[in-house]
């Protein structure tokens, strides 16, 4: 028992499992006692309409089947088995490959299979659509679960657990639990009020902090309690407080430099510049004769670090002659829920007052971007789901009623490489994905410019540009002329959204995926061959203009709503770009670049493999005021 508590105490306490139940839980886990059938029963509910006619479909409820079940009884805790455990991006594949599992899930979720016995894909699609009302989630790698690596895991409880219905006044608590000795996951259930025979067992399906607003909770509940027309009223649709969002845990502890007029010109030192770095790629590849690597932070002229600096005030006062590869409050660019806010059209006046109008679909058929008044054409329509869930769902429902393409890519605030990112048109899935962490939902690009691969066909691609921010006041930007082309491995179509290699392009971190390399030197000719009416240099010019505009918008307001000026700062960002078609009325189609995200400390492995002087170019541009490097293009002056 003592070892059990030591191994699982964090889990037990974080899930608020009453200590009175711990000995019984230990016994049931050790001996694999699943005894809910001795205390409860499943009851099938026959529903009728107003005329007394039975409504098609089967519903269930769980009721107590003993005289009493009290919270004080140490035996009142139960194990519920999990029928199916999976990662969201593997769900459809598992269902297709395991017919027994597929039919069990269909039966559990009430999916009719009578008319589609031979159409496995049809059943899979229906189960995948329905499962977001039945599944639960936990993260491997969470300290509470004591496992190794952080990754969202989804599961469906067995028939008993899945038939416990939602209530705003629940009678039981249900939480996932990982039993360390066998690495087995169960759901724990215990009463939170005394129950008697015939009482219904209900739970609260909303797995979010109890202090969420009633309006937010209403929309979180939408997978189980359908929204009505009254929920489309957006008169009070002001989700999220901008001040609170920008004063996040990242920005609240960041200070600005006090020496605003200082400018350190390292080129005037007439000696090698001393570089301290903890970035292995810089250590291995910085060979420029003007720089020398040293191990002493105190003696360095330049600090190139992967660690976040927050105290720019002390840095400017104590080390006024050092330069660093970070800008204060640059997270407004590198965190996705802030990026779209600072880039929106006229999102705020100079005094910080909001001027956004509500999203409007009135002009949707005439504009390539139906929300052109709020979002620039180079930015996808985006919602911060943690702060704008109601606004998003209302917009989703309006697009649905207008029969517009309604697929979204849902991405975590601050992860890259496609981690925990999903493409879906299922609003219930989008709502539930919030349980694995805060996310943004971006309208999916359904008409991208595609590249031809002889071995595959027309595939999706994106571009990674390395952008150098040399100065903020005045704004001075440069771009490395060498860029990455990242391509999907399967022919593009607006189907099979669970297929990573069809809808995502970053393959070097995906186990088993092959990375197809296209050198940027090939791009101009390949593009000309495929799209002879469009000049690649014109496309590049539009991309550079878009990047410049993005940085202008990110610096138009003072911190915390914009990047902070710091004369000691120089850095690079990885800016990811896609190209899409603008098709408007009967006019000729045009190519529109779109910003996907902006990354601090980008992984430059592929750049260095093809361009070994990459960091020499970067450091020369940032720190030597070079204007003549042939690999660099200045996009602002």
Matching residue, tokens 């006041």: 473
Q: What is the pLDDT of residues 27-78, one digit of tens each?
A: 999 999 999 999 999 998 877 666 666 666 678 999 999 999 999 999 999 9
How far apart, in whole angstroms, are the C-alpha atoms of residue 526 and residue 191?
65
Q: Is the Cα torsion angle 149, 151, 156, 162 positive or negative in sign?
A: positive
| Lowest model confidence (mean pLDDT) among 102-106, 137-141, 147-151, 285-289 | 147-151
Domain with residue 83: its CATH number is 2.170.270.10
Instruction: Give Cβ neighbours of residue 364 (< 8 Å, ≥ 6 apart).
Output: 370, 402, 404
Whether pTM exceeds 0.85: yes
Matching residue, tokens 């039919």: 103
Confidence of residue 240 (pLDDT cuts 50, 70, 90): low
The pLDDT assigned to 141 comes to: 59
Q: Please check whether residues 132 and 147 belong to one and the same domain.
A: yes
Is the pLDDT reported for residue 402 higher than 50?
yes
Q: What is the pLDDT of residues 3-18, one digit of tens each?
A: 999 999 999 999 999 9
Task: Output the average pLDDT for the chain.
Answer: 89
| Arithmetic mean of pLDDT, 443-470 | 97
Pairing mode, if any, of strands 68-69 and 195-196? Answer: antiparallel
Q: Please check whether residues 288 and 364 belong to one and the same domain.
A: no
Confidence of residue 366 (pLDDT cuts 50, 70, 90): very low
Q: Considering its fold, how many domains does the chain have in total?
A: 3
Residue 335 token pair: 């965190």
Pick from 134, 133, 107: which is nearest to 226 by CA?
133
Q: Is the Cα torsion angle 187, 193, 198, 204 positive or negative in sign?
A: negative
Position 54 in a domain? yes
Q: Please check whether residues 120 and 47 belong to one and the same domain.
A: yes
Q: Between 114 and 565, where is the model more confident?
A: 565
The pLDDT assigned to 250 comes to: 60
Burial of 190 (0-12, 13-18, 19+ CB in 10 A): buried
Q: Please check whether residues 76 and 205 belong to one and the same domain.
A: yes
The pLDDT assigned to 358 comes to: 40
Position 249 in a domain? no
Q: Please check whether residues 489 and 567 belong to one and the same domain.
A: yes
Alpha helix ranges (H) inside 221-371? 242-246, 280-285, 312-318, 331-334, 336-343
Is the pLDDT reported for residue 451 higher than 70?
yes
| Arithmetic mean of pLDDT, 91-100 | 96
Residue 461 token pair: 């691609």
Q: Please check whether residues 393 and 303 belong to one and the same domain.
A: no
Q: Please check whether residues 286 and 376 belong to one and the same domain.
A: no
Percent of the chain residues past pLDDT 70, beyond the cut:
87
The pLDDT assigned to 268 comes to: 76
Q: Between 430 and 211, where is the model more confident?
A: 430
The pLDDT assigned to 143 comes to: 45
Domain with residue 419: its CATH number is 3.30.470.20
| Lowest model confidence (mean pLDDT) among 433-447, 497-511, 538-552 | 497-511
Q: Please check whether residues 300 and 345 belong to one and the same domain.
A: no
Structural domain containing residue 504 = 331-634
Is the pLDDT reported for residue 362 higher than 60?
no
Q: What is the pLDDT of residues 557-591, one digit of tens each?
A: 999 999 999 999 999 999 999 999 998 777 889 99
Q: Please check whether residues 160 and 277 belong to one and the same domain.
A: no
Cis peptide before 560 (omega within 30 of 0): yes
């Amino acid at each position: 028992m003592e070892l059990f508590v030591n191994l699982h105490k964090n889990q037990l306490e974080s899930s608020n499992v009453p200590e009175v139940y711990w000995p019984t839980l230990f016994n049931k886990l050790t001996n694999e006692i699943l005894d809910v059938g001795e205390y409860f029963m499943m009851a099938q509910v026959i529903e009728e309409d107003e005329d007394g006619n039975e409504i098609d479909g089967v519903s269930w409820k769980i009721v107590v089947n003993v005289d009493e079940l009290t919270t004080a009884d140490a035996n009142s805790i139960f194990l519920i088995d999990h029928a199916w455990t999976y990662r969201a991006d593997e769900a459809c594949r598992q269902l297709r490959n395991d017919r027994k599992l597929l039919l069990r899930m269909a039966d559990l979720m009430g999916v009719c299979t009578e008319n589609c016995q031979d159409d496995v894909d049809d059943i899979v699609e229906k189960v995948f659509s329905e499962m977001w009302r039945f599944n639960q989630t936990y993260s491997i790698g969470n300290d509470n679960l004591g496992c190794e690596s952080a990754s969202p895991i989804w599961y469906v409880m067995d028939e008993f657990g899945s038939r416990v219905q939602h209530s705003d006044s629940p009678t039981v608590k249900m939480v996932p639990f990982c039993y360390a000795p066998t690495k087995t996951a169960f759901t724990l259930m215990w009463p939170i009020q005394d129950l008697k025979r015939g009482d219904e067992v209900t739970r609260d399906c909303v797995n979010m902090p109890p202090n969420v607003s009633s309006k937010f909770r209403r929309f979180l509940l939408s997978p189980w309690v359908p929204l009505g027309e009254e929920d489309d009223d957006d008169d009070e649709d002001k989700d999220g407080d901008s001040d609170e969002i920008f004063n996040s845990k990242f920005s609240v502890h960041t200070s600005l430099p006090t020496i605003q007029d200082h400018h350190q010109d390292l080129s005037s030192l007439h000696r090698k510049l001393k570089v301290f770095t903890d970035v292995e790629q810089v250590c291995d590849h910085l060979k420029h004769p003007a720089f020398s690597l040293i191990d002493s932070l105190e003696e360095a002229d330049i600090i190139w670090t992967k660690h976040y600096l927050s105290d720019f005030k002390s840095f400017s006062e104590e080390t006024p002659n050092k330069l660093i590869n970070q800008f204060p409050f640059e997270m407004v660019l590198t965190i996705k829920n802030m990026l779209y806010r600072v880039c929106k059209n006229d999102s705020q006046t100079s005094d910080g007052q909001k001027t956004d109008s509500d999203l409007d679909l009135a002009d949707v058929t005439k504009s390539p971007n139906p929300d052109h008044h709020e979002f620039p054409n180079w930015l996808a329509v985006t919602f911060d789901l943690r702060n704008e869930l109601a606004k998003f769902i209302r917009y989703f429902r309006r697009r649905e009623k207008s029969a517009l393409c309604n697929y979204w890519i849902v991405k975590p605030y601050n992860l890259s490489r496609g981690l925990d990112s999903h493409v879906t048109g299922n609003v219930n899935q989008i709502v539930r994905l919030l349980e694995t962490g805060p996310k943004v939902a971006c309208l999916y690009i359904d008409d991208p410019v595609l590249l031809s691969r002889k071995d595959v066909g027309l595939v999706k691609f994106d571009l990674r540009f390395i952008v150098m921010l040399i100065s903020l006041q005045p704004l001075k930007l440069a771009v490395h002329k060498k860029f990455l082309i990242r391509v999907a491995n399967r022919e593009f179509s607006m189907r099979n959204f669970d297929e990573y290699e069809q809808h995502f392009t970053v393959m070097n971190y995906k186990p088993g995926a092959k990375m197809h390399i296209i050198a940027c030197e090939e791009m101009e000719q390949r593009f000309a061959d495929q799209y002879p009416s469009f000049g690649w240099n014109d496309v590049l010019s539009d991309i550079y203009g878009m990047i410049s505009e993005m940085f202008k918008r990110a610096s138009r307001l003072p911190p915390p709503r914009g990047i902070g000026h710091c004369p000691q700062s120089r850095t690079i960002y990885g800016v990811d770009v896609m190209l899409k078609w603008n098709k408007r009325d009967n006019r000729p189609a045009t190519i529109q670049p779109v910003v996907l995200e902006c990354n601090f400390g980008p992984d430059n492995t592929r750049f260095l493999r093809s361009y070994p002087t990459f960091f020499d170019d970067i450091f020369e541009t940032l720190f030597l005021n070079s204007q003549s490097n042939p690999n660099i293009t200045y996009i602002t002056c």
